[in-house]
Amino acid sequence: MMEKSSSEFDRRFLDVEENLKVIRSNIAAAALKSGRQPQDITMLAATKTVPVEVINHGIALGIDHIGENKVQELCEKYESYDLAQCELQFIGHLQTNKVKNIIGKVSMIQSVDSVRLANEISRLSLSKGVTTDILIEVNIGNEPNKSGVLPTELYDLIEQTALLPSLRIRGLMAIPPAEAKMAETQGYFSKMSQYFIDIKGKKIDNVTMDYLSMGMSSDYSQAILSGANMVRIGSALFGPRIYN
């Protein structure tokens, strides 16, 4: 049994290197096609369920942003990540009572969707003497029971959150409806891009629209062509997720 699992690891190491090459070249092509440079696009590796050995191998290959989406998993892996050259971010749904477990550990929280959550991030960051960067997550498909602020409430949330100490709004994040067709997804990406540009133009204190985080394994090129400058990639990089 040991032997089998260690050779599975070997294969995964090789795959990550090859997958990373393909993804980087696709990102570069989409960047150039949309009038930007490859280095203008940040690729964040979505590392949920991925063993730390595999993540650290990816970091050794140059991955410089990783993101976890569960607080408990992040905390369990935290001491083992090789973070000297890599930023750790939080990208999943965050409960207010768990904020305390990640403040000071992550460089950015991509999934802020309420004033209540922003308040708690601000309060705990202030008490720890750190500033936490956040993205506002938008429920761009207006899906019931999905994380993210509704588009109609986006501007209010930004105005209120911008007033809080010890956090900075650095941009927007979205996950379009999973079952959407290509053309629909395109519409969602375009809307996000429009909000991003609009908010940037308002020049609100404490709000810099540096990151538009959208696009995952199946649609990152399309997202970049629509204006994304951060993509979050899991399965295309690490292979299908294995849930135990």
Ligand X SMILES: *Cc1c(COP(=O)(O)O)cnc(C)c1O
Phi, psi dihedrals of residue 172, rounded to the nearest 5°: -125, 150
Find, among 239, 230, 236, the residue nearest to 64 by Cα: 230
Query: CB of 201: closest distance to ligand X in angstroms?
Result: 27
Rule CB under 6 A: which of 32-71 touch ligand X? 46, 48, 69
Nearest-CB residue to ligand X? 234
Query: CB of 214: closest distance to ligand X in angstroms?
Result: 9
Look up residue 184 and give its two tokens: 């629909």
Closer to ligand X by Cβ: residue 70 or 123:
70
Please count the residues of this chain forming the interface with ligand X, following the rule CB under 6 A.
13
Rule CB under 6 A: which of 91-110 touch ligand X? 91-92
The yes or no reply on residue 235 touching ligand X (CB under 6 A) is yes
DSSP class of 95? -
Closer to ligand X by Cβ: residue 48 or 98:
48
CA angle 226, 112, 55 (to 5 degrees): 75
Rule CB under 6 A: which of 110-169 touch ligand X? none
The yes or no reply on residue 30 touching ligand X (CB under 6 A) is no
Rule CB under 6 A: which of 200-229 touch ligand X? 216-217
Closer to ligand X by Cβ: residue 58 or 92:
92
The yes or no reply on residue 12 touching ligand X (CB under 6 A) is no
Q: Left (φ > 0), alpha (ψ -120 to 50) or beta: where does 171 sit?
A: left
Look up residue 31 and give its two tokens: 């960047």
Q: Looking at the chain, which runs of residues are DSSP E strands?
A: 42-46, 65-68, 87-90, 108-112, 132-138, 167-174, 207-213, 230-233
Binding site for ligand X (CB under 6 A): 46, 48, 69, 91-92, 175, 216-217, 232-236
